[in-house]
Amino acid sequence: MLRLSKVTDSLFISNARSACNIPLIQKEAITLCINVSMEQPFPFPSDNIRTLRIAVYDDPEEDLHKYFDTCADAIDKEAVKGGHIVVYCKSGRSRSATICVAYLMKHQGLSLSEAFETVRKARSVVQPNPGFWAQLEKYEQELKSKRALQIHKPKSLLQLFAKRLLPWRSHST
């Protein structure tokens, strides 16, 4: 069955066959296609659809982690503009699911398990391979560390200087 599975209001996940189906792409008003494969095609060329290829195999040894921020940020940027994004690979099970999960963790603030369940509710066959799952676990820890640092960082340079120049005064962060 040809279909694009809706993960969020702007994000879809799919296999390559469905993602290259022109009527489906038009129906969902797709504006960005992220192709997470070495050889799967893109849909028809169009001025209205941007494309991004992440050239990896569905192999646990592949380093998909190095693309998490690039893809998550591209998805978020397109969504903020009101665009619709489809992320796909050959079967729509492992590589594309991994990228969708990474996006949900980074930009929606979900845990790995919450993000995975969100994607699985949209497309029940998703199952990142063990190597990609381990990379998602690492990414979750990195995001937690970054968020913890941001919580303790002063909100402005003025607050930082105020704390140093006026140490006797209590300043909220």
Q: Which domain holds residue 57?
A: 5-165
Q: Is residue 80 in a domain? A: yes
Q: Is residue 171 in a domain? A: no
Give yes or no for a contact between 97 and 24, defined as CB atoms under 8 angstroms apart: no
Q: Is residue 28 in a domain? A: yes
Q: Is residue 140 in a domain? A: yes
**What's the pLDDT tens digit per position in 83-134?**
999 999 999 999 999 999 999 999 999 999 999 999 999 999 999 999 999 9
Domain count, the chain: 1
Q: 119: domain CATH number?
A: 3.90.190.10
Q: Is residue 170 in a domain? A: no
For residue 49, name the pLDDT band (cuts at 50, 70, 90): very high
Alpha helices in the chain (DSSP H): 16-19, 22-27, 68-80, 95-107, 112-122, 130-152, 157-165
Q: Is residue 75 in a domain? A: yes
What pLDDT score does 173 carry?
44
Q: Structure pTM?
A: 0.86
C-alpha span between 93 and 107 (Å, rounded): 21
Average pLDDT of the segment spanning 31-57: 91
100 among known catalytic residues: no
Choosing from 20, 33, 71, 89, which is the catalytic residue? Answer: 89
Q: Is residue 132 in a domain? A: yes
